[in-house]
Amino acid sequence: MAQSGGEGGVEAVVFDLDGILLESEQVWAAAKRELTERCGGSWKPAAEHEMLGMSSPEWSRYMREELGLAMNPDQISSAVVELMVDKYRDQLPSIPGADGAVRRLSARWALGLASASNREIIDLVMELAGWGALFEVTVSAEEVGRGKPAPDVYLEAVRRLGRRPHRCVAVEDSSAGIRSAGAAGLVVIAIPNRSYPPEPSSLALADIVLESIFLVDAEQVLRAGDRTRTE
């Protein structure tokens, strides 16, 4: 059981999902491209990067306005999610080491999830990965006002956890995610995404940078905790 009062200055750990626990950005991009081409839109190379971190209302509007899909945003979001559900049920793209990190840290701290993924996708991942009992809260960016890099999704995760932002550690991989967690006041452990590396200016905002989720353990969280005690 996670300790309720925190340990080493840390009260909770909040994970990103895509790029940290799942190797899924490419899966999302493929689903969005498939729908775009199927429905007569025009995919552009920059679309994949431009939609990173967006909430579903944001990227579905982008696909309508920038890629030319003749569907309303709700229909676009639902269609992409349907494709993603099929892909995940066929094979969940878990990042090696992610399950171990989640289980190690859940034994010592409360866990939250702050994700750009839709609620239906988050719940499916929790079911398929067996993480439902390990995360105290999960928040989708579609449940808040703005997606990453705005701080909304992290602020809501911390609020639901009943913790203080500067006593929580975020685990992120992207420019948008690092900026989102930092703007919300969390201490940030960054694991740079190899396929979509964060901008140097964003990575410089992280408190700790690691090469792999395999390295995310209590020692690294306590290192981050040292920074929370300075505030």
pLDDT 10s digits, 68-114: 999 999 999 999 999 999 999 999 999 999 999 999 999 999 999 99
- Among all chains, which residue has been given the structure tokens 């992409």? 80
- Output the pTM of the full model: 0.89
User: What SS3 class is residue 136?
Assistant: coil
Asked whether the beta carbons of 128 and 137 are under 8 A apart, the reply is no
* Torsion angle (degrees, nearest 10) of CA 104, 228, 5, 109: -10
User: C-alpha distances in angstroms, 177 versus 43, 126, 228?
Assistant: 24, 20, 19
pLDDT digits (tens, 9 = 90+) for 152-169: 999 999 999 999 999 999
Residue type, 163: R
Structural domains present in the chain: 12-23+94-228 (3.40.50.1000), 25-90 (1.10.150)
pLDDT band of 229, cuts 50, 70, 90: low
Residue recorded with tokens 């919300």: 184
Summarize the confidence of residues 12-24 as an average pLDDT: 97
